[in-house]
Structure 1
Amino acid sequence: MKLNFSIIIPVYNRPNEIDELLESFTKQDFSDAYEIIIVEDGSDNSSEGIVEKYTSDLNIKYYYKENSGAGMSRNFGMEKASGNYFIILDSDVILPNTYLSSVKKALIQNFTDAFGGPDKAHESFTPLQKAINYSMTSVFTTGGIRGKKKSVGKFQPRSFNMGISKEAFDTTKGFNHYKVGEDIDLSFRLWEEGYETQLISVAYVYHKRRTSIKQFFKQTFSFGTARPELNRRFPSTKKITYWFPSVFILGLDLFLILAIFGYWQFLMCYVLYFTVLFLDSLLQNKSIKVAYLSIITTLTQFYGYGLGFLKSFLFKSSE
């Protein structure tokens, strides 16, 4: 099968990020023709001027549509695409120069109708962005499900860095209307249709993520609320590990209360955990500040996801 890539990028009020992403496309060590489709999802702050800067260097198509969310915008872009394999990226990523060649090589060696790739922190990112990246990718926080090949069974691609064949898109009709968890929902429906997914570990992106603790909390809270809904729609995918953040924060709150009454020894397991976390982050990031922030971002992640999960589990969403 000859691969003809169409790159689908939804964007909402983030022209500066699109500038960085398109710049990274100009540095790809990839000689095959491909197209980039930018879908402006009802933005007030348009990216059209930024896109025009790159039209002489890249094959770009720009579309503006009413706001409908990232999932529907990705579907819109895939409907407009001319390729037979779609690569979907978030606007807040930057590509290493080997990204497209790594995807092509991996798919030639082991073709699957969908794939996902991991994310990393670029050396230029702020300490907070590096700490958030650590919390989202570390084996000690998420079990490595976002990119550690030995840590997963069937890989669930995430929409910040994933691919899907035109055939699989036509069969599944792409993303559902859900605002959160729509990529995992798509993975489950792909499996139901008999399509295979894979992790291409070398096809990583630099992911800038949220830039404040408040934004990161809101994002992880949304992730938490999505999981019970996914469990209801796909009961066979339930795992006890999804409860871990909720159990973690409930245990921490209980032990803090016990510490007030003098039973501080129960907190030692948490002290040990965060000590290991600090040292691991320090080893990976070579920065005491990032290691310290990693404790804060991990707490934020667990409280956000854990509270969102409990809310959705106890009070079923009307969506």
Structure 2
Amino acid sequence: MLDLSIVIPTVGRLAPLRACLRSLLNQHRPTYAYQILVVCNPGSESVRAMTLEFRAMGLPVQYYFSEGRGANRARNKGAKIAEGRYLLFLDDDTELPDWDFLKRIRDRVVGHRTEVALGGFYLSPQGSSLPARVYNCAANLWMMKASKSPHRRPVMVGGCTLIDRQIFWGVGGFEESQEGAAEELALSQRIQARGHKVVLSPQISVHHYFQGGWTRLYGNAFRHGQAKPANQNQRLDSISSRQVLSLLRRGRAIDRRLGESALARLLIPSLAAYYFVVLTGSTVGKWLGRRSNAQDGYLEAVGSQSHPDL
């Protein structure tokens, strides 16, 4: 059995996918066996050719396609094919931030066997657009808010998740019916509802190149508002202005590439964009999804328990 399978869903976005694979190629070769599965939905000959190109350069990457669209469907397809004990889910618009990323996550897993799942944060690379920085800021705040709530139910992002493969399938994998509506929320809830442990770790954070502008940012916030959280602290619009300000002030610690002058120029427009775009979209989505939330109810998570050594 391989130690790690890296699953990357894509809709055929060649430029960001190439950058993602390049960051994997630039990794210091780990001492353990791993594989990379690129799952395209729908299939693309251009993506296939790219994987063959990187395979010729020594990257253990394989190409597959998934019938129909949807990141969850592609993720589950890759997880079914995967041979690794652990699954690392990346998105095609993410990049590994440094050369020893794969070594670092291996060391983390070996040293913390009670952690069934690890979720990282989204870092904004230098030169990121304002919508991209706002998106990453909101996503990180959302995860931090949930993990620090009285319920302490951390939420992972789908584009940066490390999870034990047996546990992943034990909870049913990603819910394909929740495509585009905070699918990582449902997975995190089901893992913890089974009594397993989810941990947010800066050690597996990735650079995230948000693909889109203000319109897509609003749409993502809208879908998060429609999602069904286990508690209200996991809603995107539960984040206070003080937390936004605090995170932006600590932006240099979260992303060392962001200098003080850039942070000062970013602070005020980010706050304005956060409230007028992110919160508005999330609130509208929540309002429209209120009826389904009342019908379905919330998942009741149980306490954490140690993960048995497989």
Q: Which of 233, 249, 257 is matched with 1:280 structurally?
A: 249
Structure with higher Rg: it is: 1
2:125 is matched by which residue type in structure 1? Answer: H
Instruction: Quote the residue 2:154 is aligned against.
Output: 155
What's the CA shift for 1:245? 2.5
Instruction: Quote the residue 1:42 is aligned against.
Output: 42
Instruction: Quote the residue 1:107 is aligned against.
Output: 109
Instruction: Quote the residue 2:84 is aligned against.
Output: 83
Instruction: Quote the residue 1:198 is aligned against.
Output: 199
What does the per-residue CA deviation read over 1:159-178, in whole Å, with 9 as the maximum and x for residues that have no partner? 11002212113322311121
Q: Give the 3-state SS of the residue equivalent to 1:305 in structure 2.
A: helix
What's the CA shift for 1:316? 6.2
What's the CA shift for 1:315? 6.3
Residues 85/204 of structure 1: CA separation in 2 closer, same or farther (3 Å cut): same
Q: Give the 3-state SS of the residue equivalent to 2:203 in structure 1.
A: coil
Instruction: Quote the residue 1:245 is aligned against.
Output: 237
Say whether the 8 Å CA contact 1:278–1:294 is kept in structure 2.
no
In 1, Cα distance between the equivalents of 2:46 and 2:93?
Answer: 15
2:33 is matched by which residue type in structure 1? Answer: A
Instruction: Quote the residue 1:264 is aligned against.
Output: none
In 1, Cα distance between the equivalents of 2:149 and 2:231?
Answer: 20
In 2, Cα distance between the equivalents of 1:246 and 1:109?
Answer: 34
Q: Which of 304, 308, 313 is matched with 2:281 structurally?
A: 304
Residue ranges of structure 2 left out of the alignment (5+ in a row):
297-310
1:280 is matched by which residue type in structure 2? Answer: R
Instruction: Quote the residue 1:51 is aligned against.
Output: 51
Q: Which of 267, 271, 282 is matched with 1:291 structurally?
A: 267
Instruction: Quote the residue 1:22 is aligned against.
Output: 21
Q: Which of 115, 118, 121 is matched with 2:124 structurally?
A: 121
What's the CA shift for 1:74? 0.7
What's the CA shift for 1:293? 3.0
Residues 293/73 of structure 1: CA separation in 2 closer, same or farther (3 Å cut): same
What's the CA shift for 1:211? 2.6
1:80 is matched by which residue type in structure 2? Answer: I
Q: Give the 3-state SS of the residue equivalent to 2:249 in structure 1.
A: helix
In 2, Cα distance between the equivalents of 1:183 and 1:94?
Answer: 19
What's the CA shift for 1:34? 1.1
2:128 is matched by which residue type in structure 1? Answer: F
What's the CA shift for 1:181? 2.4
Q: Give the 3-state SS of the residue equivalent to 2:144 in structure 1.
A: coil
In 2, Cα distance between the equivalents of 1:169 and 1:66?
Answer: 22
Residues 151/213 of structure 1: CA separation in 2 closer, same or farther (3 Å cut): farther
What's the CA shift for 1:33? 2.6
Residues 105/315 of structure 1: CA separation in 2 closer, same or farther (3 Å cut): closer
What's the CA shift for 1:298? 0.5
What's the CA shift for 1:238? 2.2
- 1:228-267 correspondence runs (5 A): 230-231=228-229, 237-239=230-232, 241=233, 245=237
2:107 is matched by which residue type in structure 1? Answer: K
What's the CA shift for 1:128? 3.8
Residues 196/279 of structure 1: CA separation in 2 closer, same or farther (3 Å cut): closer
Alignment: residue pair count: 282
In 1, Cα distance between the equivalents of 2:26 and 2:152?
Answer: 34
**What TM-score, normalized to structure 2?**
0.79
What does the per-residue CA deviation read over 1:244-303, in whole Å, with 9 as the maximum and x for residues that have no partner? 83898xxxxxxxxxxxxxxxxxxxxx8xx6995797388774324422431243021111
In 2, Cα distance between the equivalents of 1:170 and 1:128?
Answer: 34
What's the CA shift for 1:60? 0.8
In 1, Cα distance between the equivalents of 2:266 and 2:210?
Answer: 15
Say whether the 8 Å CA contact 2:221–2:236 is kept in structure 1.
no
> Aligned pair 1:71/2:72, yes or no?
yes
> Aligned pair 1:167/2:166, yes or no?
yes
What's the CA shift for 1:63? 0.6
Say whether the 8 Å CA contact 2:122–2:205 is kept in structure 1.
yes
Instruction: Quote the residue 2:307 is aligned against.
Output: none
2:22 is matched by which residue type in structure 1? Answer: E
In 2, Cα distance between the equivalents of 1:274 and 1:34?
Answer: 38
2:278 is matched by which residue type in structure 1? Answer: Q
14-23 or 26-35, larger mean C-alpha shift: 26-35
RMSD: 3.3
Residue ranges of structure 1 left out of the alignment (5+ in a row):
232-236, 249-269
In 1, Cα distance between the equivalents of 2:26 and 2:182?
Answer: 32
Say whether the 8 Å CA contact 1:9–1:88 is kept in structure 2.
yes
Taking only the aligned residue pairs, the percentage that are identical comes to 20
Instruction: Quote the residue 1:134 is aligned against.
Output: 137
Say whether the 8 Å CA contact 1:282–1:290 is kept in structure 2.
no
